[in-house]
Structure 1
Amino acid sequence: MSETGDVSSTILSSAARLLRETPFDEISYRILAEAAGVSERTVFRRYPTRAHLLEALSRWIEEHALPLPAFTSFEQFREAVHTRFRAFDAAPAYAFVCARAASVSPTLTAEASFLTEAVRALVDECAPHLNNRDALRIASALGSFASAQFWARMRSGYGAGATEACAAFDAVLDRVVATLPAHSRAAAR
């Protein structure tokens, strides 16, 4: 296991396995190192702080355990978010890690998440006439309501599950799409 990527992937997949039975805050670097079959020092070298580990684990979960289905229209986006929220209901520990990571200051090279990039591309494709400010506002609203943070707030704050989170997301999506000119709404379907 001399490749940095392989070691990092092993550490992150081990952390994800541990999350199934242990809250993130109770997973020590020692426990994680034992589960990954590496030294504790190796874990510290890759993730010098818990924030680094949290951010990397969140990206790993989003990519490997709870990937967002691809979409090129607002209706496909709706279905992708519904699928995502149901996956969050099935793996709440993963969803809460993703939500928590999104709320801390970035520690790694701050790249936009797949969700952010995909929503912005969707808005640019379906409503190319929008100025940058309006496109950013729409993408930001849609991305916020499609996020793990939104699902986690619905779950922990209101006792809601995927069905209720999907309904709230649908209301926002319908409202946003309704504000677009008719030719953009037609192109978005």
Structure 2
Amino acid sequence: MKAPAVVPPAPSGTQAAILTAYAELIEEIGTDDVSFRIIASRAGVGERTVFRYYATRADLLLATAEWIEATVFRRTGSSSIFDVPLAIRETMMAYESRPELGHVVAETAMRGVNGADPAPHRAEFERLLDREVPSLTPDERLSIVAALSHLDSSTTWVTMRHELGMRGRDIADAAAWAAETVLDPIRDRG
């Protein structure tokens, strides 16, 4: 039996101000040229306060990526596993609308920075499949969850954008189409 996902506590008001400030600065000037001093100034706190919450740049980056995924790219859960392709499409369009932030989320997931979650909706996919298509074998279930988790990620968006040279709507359409292809064989088994 798998352990339940650990849900991190919501950031305090000060932490939210720091994360918001860093996200704004990422969009304005990137991640490399942003010092803790600049973040503190933008957040309206002292530099020591930033260090108190985030001792290293990696800690700050992970927390910011997690906050971006939970707020900027937040999406409502799907009511059916067969609605997931539309949710994936919308997520890809959201990444495309704020590419600098999409890259931060993808980088932390790809590098595995301090335990970044590369598949934040995996539990939702598992729950929906268990409810709607309980006849799946464990191997079928695992394959579908793995494919949907991969398609529903900022890393897929980055790969399509940079390695394949795709943009916006084409990325969203391709990811949604691929998700539909994964789900098509089980539509009549629900």
State the TM bucket, normalised to the shorter chain.
Answer: 0.7 to 0.9
Which residue does 1:151 correspond to in 2? 157
Q: Is the 8 A contact 1:8 1:46 kept in 2?
A: yes
Which residue does 2:36 correspond to in 1? 29
1:113 Cα offset (Å): 5.7
> How large is the Cα RMSD of the aligned pairs?
2.2
Q: Is the 8 A contact 2:144 2:183 kept in 1?
A: no
Letter in 1 for 2:129: V
Gaps of 5+ in 2: 1-10
Q: Is the 8 A contact 2:85 2:177 kept in 1?
A: no
Change (3 A) 1:79 1:174: closer
Change (3 A) 1:51 1:137: farther
Mapping of residues 50-61 of structure 1, within 5 Å: 50-61=57-68
SS in 2 for 1:45: helix
CA distance in 2, matches of 1:75, 1:163: 20
1:95-145 deviation per Cα after TM superposition (whole angstroms, max 9, x unaligned)? 11110111123426x778642222222222222222444323211111111
Q: Which moved more, 1:120-129 or 1:63-72?
A: 120-129
115, 121, 124: which one aligns with 1:115: 121
Which residue does 1:138 correspond to in 2? 144
Q: Is 1:169 the equivalent of 2:175? A: yes
SS in 1 for 2:55: coil
CA distance in 1, matches of 2:60, 2:142: 29
Which residue does 1:97 correspond to in 2? 104
Change (3 A) 1:113 1:84: same
Q: Is the 8 A contact 2:119 2:152 kept in 1?
A: no
Percent same amino acid among aligned pairs?
A: 29
TM-score, length of structure 1 as denominator length: 0.84
1:171 Cα offset (Å): 3.3
CA distance in 2, matches of 1:11, 1:114: 23
Which residue does 2:20 correspond to in 1? 13
CA distance in 2, matches of 1:154, 1:170: 13
Letter in 2 for 1:157: E
1:145-178 deviation per Cα after TM superposition (whole angstroms, max 9, x unaligned)? 1111101111122221232222322332222213
Q: Is the 8 A contact 1:68 1:115 kept in 2?
A: no
TM-score, length of structure 2 as denominator length: 0.83
CA distance in 2, matches of 1:182, 1:138: 15
CA distance in 2, matches of 1:156, 1:165: 11
Change (3 A) 1:131 1:51: farther
Q: Is the 8 A contact 1:47 1:53 kept in 2?
A: yes
Q: Is the 8 A contact 2:157 2:171 kept in 1?
A: yes
1:24-61 deviation per Cα after TM superposition (whole angstroms, max 9, x unaligned)? 12211111111112222221221122221121111111
Q: Is the 8 A contact 1:151 1:162 kept in 2?
A: no
CA distance in 1, matches of 2:146, 2:154: 14
